[in-house]
């Protein structure tokens, strides 16, 4: 108990947090775990009212579904559930937080617990924070408590520190215990008037990044591509993230789907041939021109032209491209008359255009033409939730290609694939699936023995921190807690731009304790590598306690 004037129960607060951490190994009991933990938390704070509300997305709307609550009336719960009757102060506070951090896409993890404990008139403290899904990296729930007490800085400090740890553990528990089904995920962006065109490519995955990409394409880029004289679209992404797939997706769903689709890698376009390749040429206009050629833009007229790896074009060739983007006309070599073209130009690159301009590898006026429409593709390591669906897709595709039926894919193999960071992205994953199906005997399973024989390096790699919550469902408690701690420390370091002191202080850990955790969890090497050339990190990496990746195989 604390000083006179207010009270809280530290033992109950600790118990509420401990219940969540123990429950990580038992996601099937998530509802009971969270309910018991919430009750202990409310008791520990001495809360007069409180609630935990899941964010439920529906086509065109969102609602807050009560998961646990104390001291709230049925009218208040109805107002919170649907976002109506917001003259109720509690409902208004909760929905105000949702609008600020969840509804407008401006949420920053670093600000998650800023101003979490607020004092308002009438001797009332309000604790209200978003709960973040550790894998999808998006708000998944709202936690709210009210407490009547006199103003006291000691309570504010203790409550702020506790609620930060509690909210992080709660996000992990909600993710494990309330996974979204593929149907629920796709319902967020599926509209009744969208029909799948024949031979349209599929954007496979249920992660928040893939959902957002589908929605952005259908709401912005596909309608824009269907209009006459559209602005160019720039697709940014590492190699293997699927830039050509997104370009073909836009083409397939736009009004241009029955016109030509032309794709070319810009590494093939030299300075000498840039004008002829882009604009075409007349027979005999230069040595070796043995026939009339339309050029890329005229070949794609009324359709889509995809220019991949635009960063490989020379500055001179970029100037040639800029001319047609500005004028929307071409003059083939050997001719003098301008010909108007109507093409949706889509450009792809794995480089940072801003850096390329600074380094003199890209023309700034060319970059200006891209700014109106740019699409950023997330690497596969940032969206491990998509990996199981992608694996199923590529396995099925290669079964059909090889006319072979496998028996099954062992769970240990899938966990190994989910845990891998995939530096080659989806392209690398597709190659691995092709290799596995090619070498497995028909009717036999793809097991760990075959996987480790064909791709021995993958199982030896460190876990991808963002995949932690996908991997702990059936492992012993100690390994589950290690995974949670490892992911938490790495996530906090990234939030603080690998400033060790800042990240350590945000976790409330002394220096020696923080470095002891990084060694015990097997991530000292990861931290040291990131800090190379910036700050000397004093410890060597050690294997993860409990067997690491091997324990999950």
pLDDT value of residue 192: 36
Query: Tell me, which fold does domain 208-376 have in CATH?
Result: Rossmann fold (3.40.50)
First to last CA, the chain: 47
With contact defined as beta carbons under 8 Å apart, do 480 and 21 qualify?
Answer: no
Say which residue the tokens 């989806």 belong to: 426
Sign of the four-CA dihedral 145, 148, 151, 153: negative
Closest CA to 386 of 309, 461, 466: 466
- What is the rounded distance in angstroms from the CA atom of residue 112 to the CA atom of residue 120? 20
DSSP β-ladder status, 124-132 and 117-120: antiparallel
Low-confidence ranges of the chain (pLDDT < 50): 1-6, 103-114, 181-193, 473-477, 533-553
Specify the long-range contacts of residues 11-15, CB closer than 8 Å, at least 24 apart.
Answer: 11/44, 12/40, 12/41, 12/43, 12/44, 13/40, 13/41, 13/44, 13/45, 13/162, 13/166, 14/44, 15/40, 15/44
C-alpha–C-alpha distance, residues 308 and 247, integer Å? 10
What's the rounded Cα separation, in Å, for the pair 455 and 432? Answer: 8
- Provide the token pair at 530: 């990131």
- Bin 375: left if φ > 0, else alpha if -120 < ψ < 50, else beta: beta
CA 176 to CA 466: how far, in whole Å?
Answer: 13
Neighbours of 422 (CB within 10 A): 22
Model pLDDT, residue 114: 46
Number of CB atoms found within 10 A of residue 10's CB? 12
User: What CA–CA distance (Å, rounded) separates 365 from 248?
Assistant: 26
For 61, other C-beta atoms within 10 Å of its C-beta total: 9
Location of structure tokens 């000397």: 536
Structure tokens at 174: 């909600």
Q: So where are the chain's domains?
A: 10-177, 208-376, 382-552
Query: What confidence score (pLDDT) does residue 488 get?
Result: 65
pLDDT of 60 reads 53
Fold of the 10-177 domain: Beta-Lactamase (3.30.450)
Are 321 and 347 a contacting pair, CB within 8 Å?
Answer: no
Tokens of 217: 């394409």
DSSP structure class, residue 349: E
Would you state the pLDDT for residue 251?
95
Chain centroid offset of residue 492 CA: 16
The two beta strands, 117-120 and 233-236, are unpaired
CA distance 386 to 371: 28
- For β-strands 374-376 and 49-58, DSSP reports them as unpaired
Q: How far apart are CA 213 and CA 246, in angstroms?
A: 9
Give Cβ neighbours of residue 74 (< 8 Å, ≥ 6 apart): none
Closest to 388 in 3D by CA, of 245, 213, 177, 182? 182
Which CATH fold would you assign to the domain 382-552?
A: Helicase, Ruva Protein; domain 3 (1.10.8)
Which SS3 state, helix, strand or coil, does residue 285 take? coil
Rounded CA-CA distance 260/382 in Å is 34
CA distances from 475 to 27, 465, 470 (A): 11, 16, 11
Q: Which two tokens stand for residue 143?
A: 């936690």
Q: How far apart are CA 221 and CA 374, in angstroms?
A: 9
Judge whether 123 and 100 are in contact, CB under 8 Å.
Answer: no
Per-residue pLDDT at 169? 85
The answer to whether 477 touches 393, Cβ cutoff 8 Å, is no
C-beta of residue 70 within 8 angstroms of C-beta of residue 52: no
Look-up of token digits 């992990």: 172
Q: Write the DSSP string, 399-457.
A: HHHHT---S-B-HHHHHHHHHS--TTHHHHHHHHHHHHHHHSPTT--B-HHHHHHH-TT
Q: Give how far Cα 485 sits from Cα of 12, 141, 226, 469, 492, Å.
A: 22, 21, 48, 11, 11
Q: Give the whole-angstrom CA distance, residue 162 versus residue 309.
A: 48
Element holding 97 (H helix, E strand):
helix 89-98
Output helix, strand, coil percentages for the chain, rounded to the nearest 5: 50, 15, 35
Residues whose CB is less than 8 angstroms from the CB of residue 193 and which lie 6 or more positions away in sequence, other chains included: none
If we measure between CA atoms, which residue out of 30, 28, 70, 33 comes closest to residue 49? 70
pTM above 0.85, yes or no: no
What are the CA-CA distances from residue 486 to residues 111, 220, 307, 493, 553 (Å)? Answer: 21, 38, 41, 11, 19
């Amino acid at each position: 108990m604390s000083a006179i004037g207010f009270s809280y129960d530290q033992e109950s607060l600790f118990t509420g947090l401990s219940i969540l951490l123990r429950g990580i190994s038992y996601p099937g009991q998530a509802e009971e775990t969270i309910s018991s933990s919430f009750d202990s938390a409310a008791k520990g704070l001495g809360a007069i009212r409180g609630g935990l509300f899941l964010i439920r997305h529906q086509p065109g709307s969102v609602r807050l579904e009560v998961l646990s609550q104390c001291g709230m009336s049925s009218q208040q719960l109805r107002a919170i559930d649907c976002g109506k009757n917001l003259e109720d102060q509690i409902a208004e506070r909760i929905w105000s937080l949702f609008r600020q951090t969840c509804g407008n896409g401006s949420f920053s993890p670093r600000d998650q617990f800023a101003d979490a404990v607020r004092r308002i008139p009438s001797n009332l403290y309000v604790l209200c924070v978003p709960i973040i899904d550790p894998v999808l990296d998006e708000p998944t729930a709202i936690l709210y408590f009210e407490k009547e007490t006199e103003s006291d800085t000691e309570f504010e400090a203790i409550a702020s520190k506790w609620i930060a740890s509690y909210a992080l553990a709660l996000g992990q528990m909600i993710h494990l215990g309330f996974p979204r089904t593929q149907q629920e995920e796709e319902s967020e962006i599926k509209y009744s008037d969208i029909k799948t065109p024949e031979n349209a490519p599929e954007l496979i995955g249920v992660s928040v990044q893939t959902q957002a990409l589908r929605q952005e394409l259908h709401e912005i880029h596909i309608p824009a591509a269907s209009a006459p004289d559209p602005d160019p679209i720039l697709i940014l992404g590492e190699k293997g993230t699927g830039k050509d797939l997104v370009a073909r997706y836009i083409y397939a769903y736009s009004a241009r789907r029955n016109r030509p689709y032309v794709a070319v890698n810009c590494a093939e376009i030299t300075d000498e041939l840039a004008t002829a390749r882009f604009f075409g040429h007349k027979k005999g206009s230069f040595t070796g021109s043995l026939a009339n050629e339309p050029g890329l833009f005229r070949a794609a007229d009324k359709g889509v032209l995809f220019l991949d790896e635009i960063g490989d074009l020379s500055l001179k060739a970029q100037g040639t491209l800029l001319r047609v983007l500005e004028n929307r006309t071409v003059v083939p070599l050997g001719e003098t008359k301008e010909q108007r073209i109507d093409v949706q130009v889509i450009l792809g690159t794995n480089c940072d255009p801003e850096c390329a301009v600074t380094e003199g590898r890209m023309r700034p006026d060319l970059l200006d033409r891209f700014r109106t429409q740019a699409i950023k593709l997330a690497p596969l390591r940032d969206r491990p939730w998509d990996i199981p669906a992608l694996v199923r897709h590529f396995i099925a595709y290669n079964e059909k290609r090889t006319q072979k039926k496998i028996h099954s894919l062992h769970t240990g193999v899938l966990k190994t694939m989910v845990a891998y960071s995939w530096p080659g992205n989806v392209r690398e994953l597709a190659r691995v699936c092709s290799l596995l199906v090619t070498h497995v005997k028909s009717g036999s399973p793809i097991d760990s023995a075959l996987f480790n024989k064909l791709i021995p390096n993958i199982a030896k790699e460190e876990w991808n921190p963002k995949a932690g919550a996908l991997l702990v469902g059936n492992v012993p408690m100690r390994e589950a807690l290690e995974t949670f701690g490892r992911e938490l420390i790495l996530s906090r370091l990234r939030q603080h731009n690998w400033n060790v002191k800042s990240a350590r202080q945000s976790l409330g850990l002394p220096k020696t304790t923080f470095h002891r955790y990084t060694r015990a969890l097997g991530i000292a090497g990861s931290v040291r590598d990131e800090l190379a050339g910036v700050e000397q990190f004093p410890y060597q990496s050690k294997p993860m306690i409990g067997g690491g990746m091997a324990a999950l195989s």
